[in-house]
């Protein structure tokens, strides 16, 4: 075989392997999407059906009757939106400070911030729950967002972003009489937009998927987030899979959209600091 033919055979094998992997990843999602369109008879048919006979929204309607999914989605959008915005702001402020300023105690404070990454969230979740209960704010948006308004990851990520700005730019601006805060919001902030975008997408997906915290601080139906709402639906409809799959698709949609739109930025931003020889 010539080396060109060999190469072609090799690439064909690679392509087939890719198709198999892609199938494994995509199958559950596509299949469950199909199931969300099936009637109960189709779902329980033997042999199992892979395609719905007709596109039907009945299961979605049933899911919405069984549980207020739009309300859950609204709650999750509020919670994730607030957490994301807050983590971007608190992270950018602290990151800018650590990247640009010299002040006494800088190293100690930076170590302290990084140390919070070492404390697993599940290990402090009970104590946080007790704090929130003590304040009597269970079942509020405040309870859902408060512990997640700042993160060490965001601080660190933003610090890296500001460190990558040319130092001369900062110095020149200051010599021209620009205040440090003005540089932050009128020069620095726009320049680190890609990193900020990546952080925003990551944080949104992360907080959208939170499960344990909303599970313990909220127990009224109206304040549930999508993840808890889906669990509730699954628990009550253990024999009726159609509406559960419809619910799963409804809560997947926002995160998949955000992921597909922001994928490139997300990947670049996430890996910029981590992958280095």
Binders of another protein in range 52-71 (CB under 8 A):
none
Q: Is 38 left (phi over 0), alpha (psi -120 to 50) or beta?
A: beta
Find the shortest distance in angstroms from Cβ 249 to another protein.
8
User: Binding-site residue total for another protein (CB under 8 A)?
Assistant: 101
Residues 171-200 that bind another protein (CB under 8 A): 171, 174-175, 177, 180-181
Nearest residue (CB) to another protein, 212 versus 221:
212
Residues 243-272 that bind another protein (CB under 8 A): 244-245, 247-248, 251-252, 255-256, 258-260, 263, 266-267, 270-271
Nearest residue (CB) to another protein, 155 versus 195:
155
Contact segment (CB under 8 A) with another protein among 59-67, 136-144, 187-195, 201-209 equals 201-209
Binding mask 15-54 for another protein (x = CB under 8 A): x-xx--xx-xxx-xx-xx--x-------xx-xxx-x----
Work out whether 169 is an interface residue with another protein (CB under 8 A).
no
**Which residue in the set 144, 147, 198, 199 belongs to the binding site for another protein (CB under 8 A)?**
147
Work out whether 141 is an interface residue with another protein (CB under 8 A).
no
Find the shortest distance in angstroms from Cβ 231 to another protein.
5
Question: Which residues contact residue 212 at a Cβ distance below 8 angstroms, ignoring those fewer than 6 apart?
Answer: 122, 125
183 CB neighbour count, 10 Å cutoff: 19
Find the shortest distance in angstroms from Cβ 37 to another protein.
14
How many residues can be counted in the chain? 277
Find the shortest distance in angstroms from Cβ 84 to another protein.
15
Cis peptide before 110 (omega within 30 of 0): no
Residue found by looking up tokens 């140390």 in the block = 115
Q: DSSP for 178-247, please give it.
A: --HHHIIIIIIHHHTHHHHHHHHHHHHHHHHT--HHHHHH--SGGG--HHHHHHHHHHHTTT-HHHHHHH
DSSP state of 35: H
Is residue 207 within 8 Å of residue 128, measured between CB atoms? no
Binding mask 203-242 for another protein (x = CB under 8 A): --x--xx-xx---x---------xxx-xx--x------x-
Work out whether 156 is an interface residue with another protein (CB under 8 A).
no
3-class DSSP string for 107-158: HHHHHHHHHHHHCCHHHHHHHHHHHHHHCCCCCCHHHHHHHHCCCHHHHHHH
């Amino acid at each position: 075989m010539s080396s060109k033919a060999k190469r072609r055979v090799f690439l064909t094998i690679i392509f087939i392997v890719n198709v198999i992997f892609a199938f494994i990843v995509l199958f559950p999602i596509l299949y469950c999407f199909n199931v969300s369109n099936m009637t109960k008879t189709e779902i329980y048919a033997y042999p199992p059906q892979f395609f719905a006979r007709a596109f039907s929204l009945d299961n979605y309607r049933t899911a919405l009757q069984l549980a207020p999914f739009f309300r859950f989605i609204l709650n999750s959008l509020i919670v994730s939106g607030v957490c994301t915005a807050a983590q971007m702001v608190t992270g950018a402020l602290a990151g800018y400070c650590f990247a640009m300023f010299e002040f006494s105690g800088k190293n100690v404070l930076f170590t302290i911030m990084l140390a919070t990454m070492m404390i697993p969230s599940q290990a402090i979740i009970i104590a946080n729950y007790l704090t929130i209960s003590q304040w009597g704010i269970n079942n509020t948006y405040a309870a859902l967002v408060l512990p997640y308004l700042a993160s060490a990851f965001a601080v660190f990520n933003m610090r890296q972003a500001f460190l990558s700005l040319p130092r001369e730019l900062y110095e020149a601006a200051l010599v021209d009489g620009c205040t440090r805060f003005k540089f932050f919001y009128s020069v620095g902030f726009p320049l680190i937009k890609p990193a900020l975008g990546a952080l925003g997408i990551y944080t949104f997906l992360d907080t959208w998927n939170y499960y344990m915290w909303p599970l313990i601080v909220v127990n009224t139906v109206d304040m549930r987030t999508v993840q808890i709402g889906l669990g509730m639906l699954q628990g009550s409809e253990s024999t009726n899979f159609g509406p559960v799959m419809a619910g799963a698709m409804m809560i997947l949609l926002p995160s998949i959209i955000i992921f597909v739109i922001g994928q490139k930025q997300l990947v670049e931003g996430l890996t910029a600091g981590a992958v280095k020889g």
